[in-house]
Structure 1
């Protein structure tokens, strides 16, 4: 298990400056890799996440309990195939395109439980919850069914609390330290799927 990429982003208009209805909607969902296997730059991680990374709506993103958003690289094949089919445009997403801070390999939602700890390099994190996508995720990927596809597929990724701050770079190994193991991220996602299906809560 290892860290493939660290990404960050700045708050900007989600739909650009010329959309008649949404030009005032801010978002930092569009992330850019700042440390990767081609350039293993050390990045400072503080209690609120990646240094200089921003979040537009702190009610639903960021903060101590959602300081780092992690996403498995294994799911990129799914998204590239889905978007290529649905948008009729060849798609090859770069790490960070799903809004994640850490792109990792070797660890999936079925294997991660709330309360587990992850040691990444010299740093330590606690798993807190899954990511719940909204209309901003649809906009970032240019496909109105993206949020629904994320929940239905179970490819949600998860948030981390930072327990030990410091420097880390892409290429760092990941060690999983099991917690109580009561609820996995995959189980949380199933609960969210049932809730949305019952109430028809799709953006």
Structure 2
């Protein structure tokens, strides 16, 4: 298990016809890799996440409890195939493409539980909850069914609280230390998918 990329971004206008009431919204979902295996630059990680990273709506992203969004690189093949088929264009997503801060390998949603602790390099994190996709994710992906596809596939990723701050760079190993192990991220995703109000998701 290791950290492949660290990504950051600023709040910018996000355009799309993926919501009945909005054609443009402010969003920090556009992330760019600032430390990766080819260029493993140290990045400062504080209590609120990556130094300089921004979120537009702190009620759903960011803050102490959602400081870092983690996404497994193993899911990128799914998105490349789906988006290539649906958009009729060849899609090859890069780290940060789903809005994640940490792109990792070797750890998936059914293996991660709320309350688990992760160490990455010398830093420590706590698993908080899954990522809940919305219409902004549809707009980012350029496909109105992207949020529904994320829920149906369980390829949602998860949020971390920062326990130990400091500098971190791509390539660092990841270790997981189990918490109570009552609810996995995959369990949370299944519960969310079954809620009536989540079944439409503007698809």
Fold-level similarity (TM above 0.5): yes
Measured in 2, the distance between the counterparts of 1:21 and 1:150 equals 21
Measured in 2, the distance between the counterparts of 1:125 and 1:43 equals 15
TM-score, structure 1 as length reference: 0.95
Q: Is the counterpart of residue 125 in structure 1 residue 125 in structure 2?
A: yes
- SS of structure 1 residue aligned to 2:45: strand
1:70-89 aligned within 5 A: 70-89=70-89
Equivalent residue number for residue 33 of structure 2: 33
Measured in 1, the distance between the counterparts of 2:118 and 2:198 equals 34
TM-aligned CA distance change 1:88 to 1:181, over 3 Å: same
CA deviations 1:93-152 (Å, max 9, x no partner) are 000000000000000000000000000000000000000000000000100000000000
- SS of structure 1 residue aligned to 2:150: helix
Measured in 1, the distance between the counterparts of 2:159 and 2:26 equals 21
Gapped regions of structure 2 (runs ≥ 5): none
Q: Is the counterpart of residue 95 in structure 1 residue 95 in structure 2?
A: yes
- SS of structure 2 residue aligned to 1:84: helix
Equivalent residue number for residue 9 of structure 2: 9
Deviation at 1:200, TM superposition (A): 3.5
How many pairs are equivalent?
198
The answer to whether the 8 A contact 2:28-2:54 is kept is: yes
- SS of structure 1 residue aligned to 2:15: coil
The answer to whether the 8 A contact 2:109-2:184 is kept is: yes
Q: Is the counterpart of residue 148 in structure 1 residue 142 in structure 2?
A: no
Measured in 2, the distance between the counterparts of 1:130 and 1:143 equals 21
- SS of structure 1 residue aligned to 2:54: coil
Equivalent residue number for residue 169 of structure 2: 169
Measured in 2, the distance between the counterparts of 1:178 and 1:200 equals 32
Deviation at 1:201, TM superposition (A): 4.2
Deviation at 1:202, TM superposition (A): 1.5
- SS of structure 2 residue aligned to 1:56: coil
TM-aligned CA distance change 1:59 to 1:92, over 3 Å: same
CA deviations 1:8-38 (Å, max 9, x no partner) are 010000018xxx9523x10010100000000
Measured in 1, the distance between the counterparts of 2:137 and 2:72 equals 17
Measured in 1, the distance between the counterparts of 2:90 and 2:199 equals 31
TM-score, structure 2 as length reference: 0.95
Measured in 2, the distance between the counterparts of 1:27 and 1:202 equals 18
RMSD: 1.4
Structure 1 residue ranges (4+ consecutive) displaced by more than 4 angstroms after TM superposition: none
